[in-house]
Structure formats: C-alpha cells, structure tokens
Structure 1
Amino acid sequence: MRFSLLFVFVIVVGIYSYNFSEAREPVCSKFAYEEQLLEKMIRTEIKVETMVNEIKKTEDNIISTLGDIKQTVADFTDMFADMRGNITDEMLKREEEIKGREESFKTLFEETITNLTSLGNEAEKEKLIQLQGKLEQPPVAFYAHHLKDMLLDTTNEILIFEKTFTNEETGYDTSTGLFTAPVGGLYQFVVHTCAYKGKHSYLGLVLDDNVIAADSNFGDDAYGCNTFGAIVRLQKGAKVWVKSTAPGSNRQLFQNSYRFNTFSGLLVNN
C-alpha cells in the first residue's frame, strides 16, 4: 500500500515536471516564414525609399544647376546682344553724322555757286568748280619693290619692280615697270637701288623717253646703295620709268631682306 502511493506520487511529479519543461520551450509559429519574408520586404522597401529620396535630391540639384547654367547663358547672350546693338547704333550714328556733314558741305557749295552766278561772277564760279574737282580727286601714290631682273646687260632695259606696298589709283604697272599718270599735276619720284658687290650700275629716271634724273653706283667692297629722284609736272597719261643707261657684263644690282630696291611716286599737287 505504501509502495503504491509512492509510485503514484512519482508518476504525478514526473508528469508535472514534463509539463513544466514543455511550457518553458519556445513554440514556433506556423507563420514564421511569412513573418521573416515580410520583415525583409519592409527593410527592402525602406532602403528603396531612401535611394529614391537620394535620387530625387540629386535630380533636383541637377535641374537647379542646369537652370543656373541656362540663366547664365541667357545673361551672356543678352549682354552680347546689348553690346552688339550699342556698337551698331554707334556706327550708324557716325555714318549719319558723316552723311550729314557731306550734305551740308554740298549744299553750302551749291549755294555759293548760285550766289556767284546770280552776281555774274563766272570767273569765281569756274575757280570753285575746279576746286570742287580737286577736292573730289582721290590721292595718287605708289611704292614698288623687288626687282624681276637685276642684271643690267641690255641697252635701255626697264627695271621692273614686281611688288607694290602702295598703288593708289593703280598708276604703276608691275608687269611693265611703267607708271602712267592718272591725272595731271606735280609729282615727286624717288628711286633707291643697291649695286652688287664688285659690280656697278648706271640708271636713269625717264619721262616719256627723256632722262630727267640719273645715278651711278659702285659696289667695290660692299653692296652700296644710292637714292635719286625728281619733282616734275606731268600731263594726264604721261609715263615714267627707271632704266639702265649704260649696260655691261659687270652691271648688276643686289637685293635681300636688308637691302630693298624701290621705286616710288606721289602726286604732290594738281
């Protein structure tokens, strides 16, 4: 009897101990996988939302920067447009001023001629007309250089200067070496030449086959250079040139970057 009670007590204590230990063990939910997946999705959504916000900020910064650049370009465009407009306006203003002065001078000149005519002073009228022609006459000048041929071995050989720095009214012909006066008047001519070392040159300035100035040059020990010229009144169409007056085998000129052979002419007064 006593043994039976002890056995029952042991069984009861065992059952109670088992149930107590079972109650302390963690119990897994049947939705554990779904819960973990949901938690991962929530974390991923948070990260994506953070990335979207950062991208949005970057996009806003880029749009703002592009806007600043666009505004800067627009400002520069407006500034250059204003500058161009100001320059154009100033040029037009100057042009109008010049035209206005020309018209005023022309009107004054015509009024003067009319007044003189009404007084019967034909001589004064003619002088003013001639003066008007002179004022309207463009300048005449040339400055030629670089000889085509520097050997002076041919009789009456014309020196042809192939290039011109100045040739107003195109009076000088680089293919023939001749200057033809486009208008009558008082002209000044200057010739500058350099003789070859050990050679000589005899040159003349010619007006319509008449020598009006002459020069001789001897390059004994070096390349010697001389200058000569004349002031002469020409009729329209008169021709002037430079020629060799005493040809020979030992007659030769010289030119380089330090020594130019030149021929120039200028209308001083017509």
Structure 2
Amino acid sequence: MVNEIKKTEDKVFRTLGDIKQSVADFMDMFADMRGNITNEMLKRGDEIKRKEESFKTSFEETRKNLTSDIEAEKKKLFQLEGKLEQPPIAFYAHHLKDMLLDTMDEILIFEKTFTNEGTGYDTSTGLFTAPVGGLYQFHVHTCTVYNKYAHLGLVLENKFIAANSNEGDGAHGCSSFGAIIRVRSGEKVWVEVTAYHSNYQLYQDSHRMNTFSGVLVNF
C-alpha cells in the first residue's frame, strides 16, 4: 500500500510538473503574443499618426489654395461690379467752330454734341479726355469745299494714330477715317491739322456734316 501511495504521489507530482510547465509555456506564449500585439499596435499607431499628419498637411494646403482662389474670385467680382457700375462712355460732336485749315497743328473744335455720355468731350477745346481706361473706337468724318483740300490726323497724346487726306476736286467731297485703340484714364484724343495752306478748308451745310465721335467698347 505504501508503494501504491508513493506511485500515486509520484504520478501527481509529475502531473503537477506537466501542468506547471504547460502554464509556463502558455505564459511565455502569451507574453510573446502580447509583445507582438503591442508592437503591431505601435506600428499601426505610428502609421495612423503619419496619415493624420499627411491629411492635416494636405487639408491645410487645400484650405490655403481654396482661400486664395476665393479671394481672387472675389477681387474679380468686385472689379466686375465696379465696371458694371461705370456709366456708358460715348460722344458724338459736330459743327466746326472754324473751317479754315491755315494753321499747322490746329485742333478742330466741334462745338456741338448730340451725345456726350460721361462728359468726356469738351466743346470749348475739341479735346476728348477718357473718363476711364479701356478700348475705344474713334471716327472722324469731314467735308471739303470743291477745289479745296484737307489734311487731318487723329491724335492720342501728341501721337498720330490715324490720318486722312481729302480733296474736293470739282465738287464738295467728304471722307472718313478712324481707329480702335486702348486709351488710359485721363489721356486726351483730338483731331488736328497735319498740313496747312490758304487753300485748305472744310465745308458744312444742311447736307454735309463734319463730325468727331468715340465710344468705349471694352474695359
């Protein structure tokens, strides 16, 4: 019986030893698993952090670009609103104060207007002063007495931008010339004598008109 008890004790001890070893193995395995899980979580955490930083950077760049684009569009809108608020610019002047072309560089003064939107044309000086900068179209129409001549030019700030020669051989004659040109705000445009002589003279009556006109076609 003593031997049997001893055998049983030995068996129990061996079983306990096996259980202890199994527990130890399990704890080691659990520790490894926990370490692996922790490392994986740290890696995932780092990856998530990098993605967050990348997202923040991209978001900030997008926000700045969008803000810049919005500000640019607002500026364009304000400029467009300003342009839409501008009154129309146009003039149509007629009836010459003096039709003798006997003075070089003399400015033709059309002393009456049918149209003077924006009040850019001055009937006392013959000068058109651009109220706003933009693309303008100008047109000059003049008539000469038969056997008389006229040499005229369209001038922007002392620079000829168009010229015309009109000869009334055998009859009263009329001709036209003009230009489309960009004019800055405050610049002046006028019609000027380019050649003079006692035989150079313009003519006007109920059938013939000398006119000078201009219109702002685009800002």
**What TM-score results when the alignment is normalised by the length of structure 2?**
0.69
CA distance in 1, matches of 2:70, 2:202: 58
Q: Does 1:266 align with 2:215?
A: yes
Q: Which has the larger radius of gyration?
A: 1
Q: Which of residues 103, 126, 140 in structure 2 aligns to 1:177?
A: 126
> What SS class does the counterpart of residue 195 from structure 2 fall into?
coil
How does 1:1-270 map onto structure 2 within 5 Å?
Answer: 121-270=70-219
Residue identity opposite 2:204 in structure 1: Q
Specify which structure has the higher proportion of helix. 1
**CA root-mean-square deviation:** 1.5
> What SS class does the counterpart of residue 121 from structure 1 fall into?
helix
Residue identity opposite 1:136 in structure 2: E
> What SS class does the counterpart of residue 245 from structure 1 fall into?
strand
Give unmatched runs, 5+ long, in structure 1. 1-116
CA distance in 2, matches of 1:210, 1:221: 33
Residue identity opposite 2:102 in structure 1: D
Cα distance change of structure 1 residues 119 and 156 upon mapping to structure 2, 3 Å threshold: closer
Displacement, 1:119?
7.9
CA distance in 2, matches of 1:121, 1:266: 34
Residue identity opposite 2:160 in structure 1: V
CA distance in 2, matches of 1:212, 1:119: 41
Specify which structure has the higher proportion of strand. 2
> How far does the alpha carbon of each residue in 1:2-28 deviate from its partner, in whole angstroms, 9 at most, with x for none?
xxxxxxxxxxxxxxxxxxxxxxxxxxx
Q: How many residues align?
A: 155
> What SS class does the counterpart of residue 116 from structure 2 fall into?
strand
Residue identity opposite 1:157 in structure 2: E
Cα distance change of structure 1 residues 120 and 202 upon mapping to structure 2, 3 Å threshold: closer
Displacement, 1:120?
5.9
Q: Which has the higher contact order (CA 8 A, sep 6+)?
A: 2
Displacement, 1:197?
1.0
CA distance in 1, matches of 2:174, 2:67: 60
Residue identity opposite 1:210 in structure 2: K
Residue identity opposite 1:169 in structure 2: G
CA distance in 1, matches of 2:176, 2:139: 7
CA distance in 1, matches of 2:203, 2:172: 7
> What SS class does the counterpart of residue 142 from structure 1 fall into?
strand
